[in-house]
Amino acid sequence: MRVPGHSLDAGTAPASAAAGTSAFDRGAVYRSMSLEGTTAPDFTLESTSGGEVSLGETLDDGPTVVLVNRGHWCSFCAEQLATFSRVYEDLHFNEGVDVLPVVTSPRPKLVEMRDRFGYNFQLLADPDGSVADQYSGTEQTDHGLTAVAGTYVVDTDATVRYEQIADDPADRTHGNWVRYFIRGDFENPFGE
């Protein structure tokens, strides 16, 4: 289920973006089609705990939320991650859900971010944007290579059941909405 106006095709700007202000206009590279209903690209990345985490392995325990975030410096990312941190233990222990925040920053910066905001899950380092490119895409910003923010809910069969690509850095899906989406058997909790 895509949120209207948020799925982007390669070569097109977000529907709700004003001319000259969209991520596309800033040089963003989006993938060519929606991932919703398709098999999620598998990946393995280094986590802030020092080990490696694989999407495929997390799906053995239950659904997984993949959050593609811009960088350790992004206040909107920190806010979104805080909403997932508040519901993480409930999701993990009651539904078997893992949350995998993929961030286009090096691991040491992510350790600082995790500790500063007190997240109760690990962040995954994607400094070259290779995983972000498979999901929501990347763009060049004043901070260098930056992911385009995206939220994905992946079921245990590795199928993407929800996708939201932010056409504005502040436009994010929050943790509580995802909790009810998963508990509602992957249906919009608001019936829209």
Does the residue 75 lie in any domain? yes
User: Are residues 150 and 135 in contact, defined by beta-carbon separation less than 8 angstroms?
Assistant: yes
- H/E segment holding residue 189: none
Does the residue 127 lie in any domain? yes
User: What pLDDT, in 10s, does the model give residues 103-134?
Assistant: 999 999 999 999 999 999 999 999 999 999 99
Does the residue 103 lie in any domain? yes
* Residue 157 exposure: Cα atoms within 13 Å on the Cβ side: 5
How far, rounded to the nearest angstrom, does the alpha carbon of residue 175 sit from its chain's CA centroid? 11
User: Are residues 105 and 116 in contact, defined by beta-carbon separation less than 8 angstroms?
Assistant: no
User: What pLDDT, in 10s, does the model give residues 7-27?
Assistant: 333 333 333 333 333 444 444
The low-confidence residues of the chain, meaning pLDDT below 70, are 1-32, 192
- H/E segment holding residue 153: strand 150-154
pLDDT value of residue 29: 52
The domain of 119 spans 44-183
Output the domain CATH number for residue 113.
3.40.30.10
Q: Which two three-digit tokens encode residue 47?
A: 């986590």
Does the residue 113 lie in any domain? yes
pTM for the whole structure = 0.84
What is the Cα–Cα distance from 185 to 192, expressed in whole angstroms?
15
Query: Looking at the 3D structure of the chain, how many domains does it have?
Result: 1
Task: Find the DSSP H helices in the chain.
Answer: 55-58, 75-95, 107-117, 130-134, 175-183
